[in-house]
Amino acid sequence: MEEEFNFDFNEEEAQQNVDRYEEMVRNQDQYFFDAMAFENIIDYYIEKSDPIRALQVVDYALNQHPFAAVFLIKQAQLLFITNQLDGAFAALDKAEMLEASEPEIYVLRGNMYNGLDRYQEALENFHKALSLAEVTDEILLQIAFVYQNMLDYENAIKYIKQSLEQNMENKDGLYELAFCYDILDKQEESIQFYTEYIDSDPYSYAAWYNLANAYHKLELFEKAIDAYDYAILIKDNFASAYYNKGNALVQLDRYAEAIEVYKQTFEYEPPNADTYCAIGECYEKLELMDTARSYYKKSVKMDPSLADGWFGIGVTLNFEERYFESLHFYNKAIELDDENADFWFATADAYYKLGKIELSVQAYEKVLEYNPLDVEAWLDFSTVLYEQGRLLDASETISEAIKSNPDSAELYYRMVAYLFALGQHKEALIYLETALSTDPDKHHILFEYLPQLQDNAAIIQVISKYIK
């Protein structure tokens, strides 16, 4: 028995056709559907994330419409997403024989080659599609994605810009452009582009947001905040803009304002661990440790793998001189991120305050293994050694520090102090010359560390050459 159902698409009629199709399958019967009806039935199952059923419909459609390239393209899409690549390529080859001018064939084949890291073949297919399609902004964006995968961000930028020239509303393009500029560390170019873009489309919240992020990366936090405000003005439920504005306020030490902005994100998206942690850090900076700790606890309850949350709890306890308790939370953070120099630095300090010097020394060694550019850590570590009477170890530690930080005047001044303590006066004066030529204004830190050196005639004589 055959029945024919011709219809113009609407949701109700599409559902009727799906019902008819399912009735046909149940009855093991054979109804006739026109091509549009089959397309709608296939799309229905794709939207239901049922590619197997959709492929069955394609088989029926190809039996009834064997020369309709559209069903071969649908078949290729479905075989691709079910990882049947050979079948997908074969279906596209058949479609191309039937309708070689259909750009969708080359777009899909390009995506498949891109997924297989066969970038040159991907580009050939996308360019073929480009020559056939009337609307090309999405194809240009696909070409940009191939170049991104090839790590050729300059070409990616070129094609994203071409895509945006055709469709200024494409938010994906704006975000991908920001990503490419970020990778290339070309924030100034990014700012120039988004500023010009906003001149053409001042109501693009995505452009304002990306402009703000570029300002943020250049540490122009006031300008970043203004741009985030424009993004929020245009799209008042833009949670990411609130969150990043909060981060910018933190950079300006405006912690109370940042807390309010972070909390505004909760109006537009469910609270998350990162935001709770950020709020906790603001309360910590305001020295409201109980409140800070409550937010850090919320963050780790929501995401126990968030190392910064556990660390934050430790910091609040350390502030209250609860050093033994703080170590438990520092260790939790280190278990999750054992190469984080800040975590080891706090641990080293806590062990030192508890009088566990050897454990403190071991922790300092970890700090400097993971961040040899932390001048403060080198100075603190050498102080611990110096206080233990390990003068030679202290001086050798500063010598290592200088290798990693040759422009740090603080390290040279500290070396002067240790060499004088070791009785190596001639070497000390050589280091003093270097310290003074690096930064003469910091010479006072030498006397803060060893006040008795203020009465040393040789030192005063060298300093007077640099300080009038």
Model confidence at 5: pLDDT above 50? no
Other C-beta atoms lying within 10 Å of the C-beta of residue 348: 26
pLDDT at 320: 96
Separation CA 435–CA 449 (nearest Å): 15
Higher pLDDT among residues 310 and 47, named by residue: 310
**Reported pTM:** 0.76
pLDDT at 455: 86
Mean pLDDT of 312-325: 97
Whole-angstrom Cα Rg for the chain: 33
Buried/exposed 149-177: b ≥16 CB within 10 Å, e otherwise: ebeebebbbbbbebbbeeeeebeebbebb
pLDDT at 9: 44
**Alpha carbon 192 to chain centroid distance?**
22
Written as six digits, the tokens of 453 are: 């050196």
pLDDT at 3: 39
What does the DSSP assignment read for 365-408? HHHHHH-TT-HHHHHHHHHHHHHTT-HHHHHHHHHHHHHH-TT-
Written as six digits, the tokens of 233 are: 């003005």
Mean pLDDT of 83-95: 87
Separation CA 112–CA 73 (nearest Å): 13
| Angle formed by the axes of helices 273-285 and 289-302, nearest 10° | 170
Mean pLDDT of 192-217: 94
Mean pLDDT of 411-437: 93
- Residues 162-180 have pLDDT tens digits of 999 888 888 889 889 999 9
Using pLDDT thresholds of 50, 70 and 90, give the confidence band for residue 16: low
For 389, residues 6+ apart whose C-beta sits below 8 A from its C-beta are none
Contact 241, 209 (CB under 8 A): yes
Contact 332, 310 (CB under 8 A): yes
pLDDT at 22: 64
Mean pLDDT of 238-261: 97
> Which DSSP category does 379 fall into?
H
Mean pLDDT of 330-348: 97
Mean pLDDT of 434-455: 89
Using pLDDT thresholds of 50, 70 and 90, give the confidence band for residue 7: very low
Q: How far apart are the first and last CA of the chain?
A: 108
Mean pLDDT of 82-99: 86
In CATH terms, the superfamily for domain 185-262 is Tetratricopeptide repeat domain (1.25.40.10)
Using pLDDT thresholds of 50, 70 and 90, give the confidence band for residue 216: very high
- Residues 117-133 have pLDDT tens digits of 999 999 999 999 999 99
- Residues 360-406 have pLDDT tens digits of 999 999 999 999 999 999 999 999 999 999 999 999 999 999 999 99
What is the residue-averaged pLDDT of the chain? 89
Least-confidence region, from 80-84, 125-129, 349-353, 376-380? 80-84
Higher pLDDT among residues 205 and 9, named by residue: 205
Model confidence at 105: pLDDT above 50? yes
> Could you tell me the residue ranges of all domains in the chain?
185-262
Percent of the chain clearing pLDDT 90 (strictly above)? 69
Higher pLDDT among residues 407 and 36, named by residue: 407
Mean pLDDT of 149-161: 95
Percent of the chain clearing pLDDT 70 (strictly above)? 92
Least-confidence region, from 73-82, 87-96, 182-191? 73-82
> Which DSSP category does 269 fall into?
S
Using pLDDT thresholds of 50, 70 and 90, give the confidence band for residue 6: very low
Give backbone dihedrals phi and psi of 390, rounded to 5 degrees, phi first.
Answer: -95, 65
Least-confidence region, from 16-25, 128-137, 138-147? 16-25
Separation CA 219–CA 462 (nearest Å): 39
Residue whose pair of structure tokens reads 């194809």 in the numeric block: 139
Model confidence at 430: pLDDT above 80? yes
